[in-house]
Structure 1
Amino acid sequence: MVDIRPAAQRAAEGELPGALVVERNVLEWRFDPMSDAALPIASYDLEVLVLCQEGYTSSLAAAALQDLGLHRATDVIGGYAAWRELL
Structure 2
Amino acid sequence: MTVQPGKSIDAILDEARARLRRLDPDQARLAAAEGAVLVDIRPAAQRAAEGEIPGALIVERNVLEWRFDPRSDARLAVADRFDLPIVVFCSEGYTSSLAAAALQDLGLHLATDLAGGFQAWKAAGHPVTVTAVAA
Aligned equivalents of 2:47 and 2:97: distance in 1? 18
* Percent of paired sites with the same residue: 74
Aligned to 2:92: 54
The 5-angstrom pairing of residues 61-76 of structure 1 reads 61-76=99-114
> Deviations 1:28-82 (Å, cap 9, x if unpaired)?
0000011000011112010000010000000000000000000000000000001
Aligned to 1:9: 46
Is 1:34 the equivalent of 2:71? Answer: yes
Task: Tell me how many residue pairs correspond in the alignment.
Answer: 87
Aligned to 1:83: 121
Aligned equivalents of 2:117 and 2:107: distance in 1? 23
Partner SS state of residue 87, structure 2 = strand
CA RMSD of aligned residues (A): 0.5
TM-score norm. by structure 1 comes to 0.98
Q: Any unmatched runs of 5+ in structure 2? A: 1-37, 126-135
Higher relative contact order (CA 8 A, sep 6+): 2
